[in-house]
Amino acid sequence: MWLPRSLLLLLASHLWLGNLLAAQQSAHATADEPAVDNQFVQKQFGSTCSLIGLVPMAADLDGDGVDDLVIPAHCTNPMMDQAENNFVVVDPYNSFFGYGNPKVTTQFSTEDPGRRGYVLLVIHGAGSEAWHAATPKAKFILVNLPFRRIMVKKVAVGKKKTVLGIYAEETDGSETTSVTFWDGKKYRYQPMGSSME
């Protein structure tokens, strides 16, 4: 079938314009969601925090239907920017073992000095913008959790309730796994046993 040259040019320009608009819409969609980089981390949690190279994960940790964000990070002084950046420092690990006051426990030495200051930054999302809302629902720094690797998946809480928890392959050399989860009021740590593999 033969088409006039002007019609072919019109079809080609229409396809080109359609592709250009689709690319702009795609770029706009990703531009609305900020990159989780050191600049983002420091804006949310202060200048003493930075990424450590593990991938951040989005999931609904508090069960409100809105995505939250977990960021593995390093903070040299997690208590310093707490008031200015409106977050809460918590120590679910040492709370499990009896004393979890982060003002004291952030001073404890670790079994692996290379991982001192490793934390999980958690942002509870709000509204349609979720974890990247201008004013998130809540922000936490979870200190003293031993982890090499993390993943988010379901954990049973009670007989009939499941929530999403942060599973951690711990760094104590024993290949153990633990889970930290939101119980509706606070983050709780629970040892699980063998490795996540």
Is the separation of the CB atoms in 166 and 112 below 8 Å?
A: no
In this predicted model, what pLDDT tens digit does every residue of 42-51 receive, in sequence order? 999 999 999 9
List phi, psi (to 5°) of 42.
Answer: -70, -30
Measured between alpha carbons, how far is 124 from 65 in angstroms, rounded to an integer?
11
Q: Between these two residues, 133 and 171, which has the higher pLDDT value?
A: 133
Q: Which residues contact 190 (CB under 8 A, 6 or more apart)?
A: 96, 155, 178, 179, 180, 181
Give me the pLDDT at residue 29, please: 38
Measured between alpha carbons, how far is 130 from 33 in angstroms, rounded to an integer?
10
In this predicted model, what pLDDT tens digit does every residue of 153-176 receive, in sequence order? 999 888 888 999 999 998 655 677
Q: Between these two residues, 25 and 185, which has the higher pLDDT value?
A: 185
